[in-house]
Structure 1
Amino acid sequence: MLIADAVTTGYHPDTPVLRDIGLRIAPGEIVGVTGDSGSGKTTLARTLAGLLTPSSGHVTVDGRSPRAARGDIAMVFQNPRAATNPHFTLAEIITEPAKIRRLPPPDLAALTAAVGLTPDLLDRRPHALSDGQLQRACVARALTQSPRYLILDEPTAMLDAATTATITHLITTRAPDTFGVVLITHDHALLEATCTRIATVAEGTVNT
């Protein structure tokens, strides 16, 4: 289970963004997170992923620290251009985590088809791709890691309705048997359609 226990976190110890929060995500569960812009949703995501260290409290991943369990958590960031190497081809972006972790090569054809990308895009670099195409590649990249927990920060913000439906179907069909999901989005219809339960970030707290 991915657990935030009495966590206070932010970017400076004197000005925490979130205070004394608690959240639990079990494998196979899809937990939605919503809240106003600037409320701390991305801070929560980065803390759960181990990219921010809480000033107090603990985050554990199946009983381990996020650092010790880093291979078990994958995150899709809101801005795909900031999250990808501009010198890599699309194929290299998708397969990068598998190479770093020395995992078996992923089935690129199946992955790209699953997220709605066509094979002719694999040799292109980010400058030759739309934001939506690049975000779909980031979702595929996350899936190559075979994570126990998948954290998605506004993953469909740059996608059209048809592609959003494709990605949503992919996540909801794989999650019950494969991983727990934290889905951060302003799209309340998407939350209602996909999530086991919904948490709201407001005034420095997380209400479940």
Structure 2
Amino acid sequence: MQKISRLKRDLQQLSTEPPPGITCWQHENRMDDLLAQILDGADTPYENGIFSLEVILPERYPFEPPKIRFLTPIYHPNSDSAGRIYQDFLKLPPKGAWRPSLNISTILSSIQLLMAEPNPDDPLMADISVEFKYNKQTFLKNTRKWTEKHAMQKDENSGTQALKGACLKASTTIYTCEVELLPSLNFWLVWFRFTLKKQIINTADWAHTEKV
């Protein structure tokens, strides 16, 4: 029950106080698990890329950290070819820094920050780490190439449809989101605006909740 109660609170927070450029919704077939998308900000090699992630919550969440991986291929020293993310806040002490007060919003925001500020001294991909530290221009070039190949839509219409699909899926869980495309000199920018929508979700599961 603690997991369900905490998950409900996490989703409500994501609805009422959404981090900029981040959206998250419950998995269609596994309501305990989540899917998320991160739109990275300007002035990074991931700019305009939309990166999808999978968030799997263990039974002891929030006393154990969620397992999170990128579904969208990303060129980054702290994420490997399977999408795994190597960060202290995703590991239990004493080796990690996970604590129950962390929530899904905080974690996704931290991953977004990690995208903008990689940690080359604690990498999963040693070759990319070396490139980041000693050949920054090559790193930026390769990162941009990967982002354009894997994380960008080919045109504005397909990008709009992809995000509308994500928002439609989100609206069937706990909140709805509205996609707004703004003009851009090079590509298109996407800003997420969320509106909390009162819905009853799996009444049997949420009927009795308790705070962690």
Q: TM-score, normalization: structure 2?
A: 0.22
Q: Which of 1 and 2 has greater Rg?
A: 2
Q: TM-score, normalization: structure 1?
A: 0.23
